[in-house]
């Protein structure tokens, strides 16, 4: 499985979106300063995790989110757990071909 994760910096409340096979390990890397782009904003907390059956689907979802350049979109995705599949950009599965839609997370850590 591959996971899309959204982190929030406790230092400046900014967000980071990434893909990994091991979210806990990746979070440790972010918080230890081993990731150049996130080191200045440590500590980070996981706000959302989405599970995908393939890396290509996870990376498609990541590209969709990053292309929006929008804090509002990220916050809507974070808040979308349990959202109706009819809501705009939330609820449907990326496996259904709707990459812009949010897939219900396997787990979420706040």
Who contacts 86 (Cβ-Cβ below 8 Å, separation ≥6)? Answer: none
| Residues paired with residue 2 on neighbouring β-strands, in sequence order | 52
- Asked whether residue 103 is domain-assigned, the answer is no
- Asked whether residue 87 is domain-assigned, the answer is yes
Q: For the segment 7-58, what is each residue's pLDDT rounded down to a tens digit?
A: 999 999 999 999 999 999 999 999 999 999 999 999 999 999 999 999 999 9
Number of domains into which the chain is organized: 1
DSSP label at 49? E
- Asked whether residue 108 is domain-assigned, the answer is no
Contact 7, 45 (CB under 8 A): yes
Q: What global pTM score does this model have?
A: 0.76
**Domain CATH for 86:** 3.40.1440
Instruction: State mean pLDDT over 70-99.
Output: 60
Contact 106, 93 (CB under 8 A): no
- 90 class by beta-carbon count within 10 Å (0-12 exposed, 13-18 middle, 19+ buried): buried
Instruction: State mean pLDDT over 68-94.
Output: 66
**Distance between CA atoms of residues 100 and 62, nearest Å:** 10
Q: Please give the residue range of the domain that contains residue 71.
A: 2-96
- Asked whether residue 102 is domain-assigned, the answer is no
């Amino acid at each position: 499985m591959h996971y899309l994760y959204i982190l929030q910096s406790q230092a400046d409340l900014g967000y980071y979106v990434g893909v990994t096979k091991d979210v806990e390990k990746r979070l440790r890397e972010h918080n230890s300063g081993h990731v150049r782009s996130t080191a200045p904003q440590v500590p980070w907390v996981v706000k959302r995790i989405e599970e995908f059956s393939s890396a290509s689907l996870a990376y498609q979802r990541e590209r969709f989110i990053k292309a929006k350049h929008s804090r509002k979109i990220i916050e809507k995705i974070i808040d979308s757990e349990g959202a109706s599949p009819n809501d705009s950009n939330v609820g449907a599965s990326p496996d259904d071909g709707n990459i812009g839609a949010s897939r219900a997370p396997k787990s979420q850590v706040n």
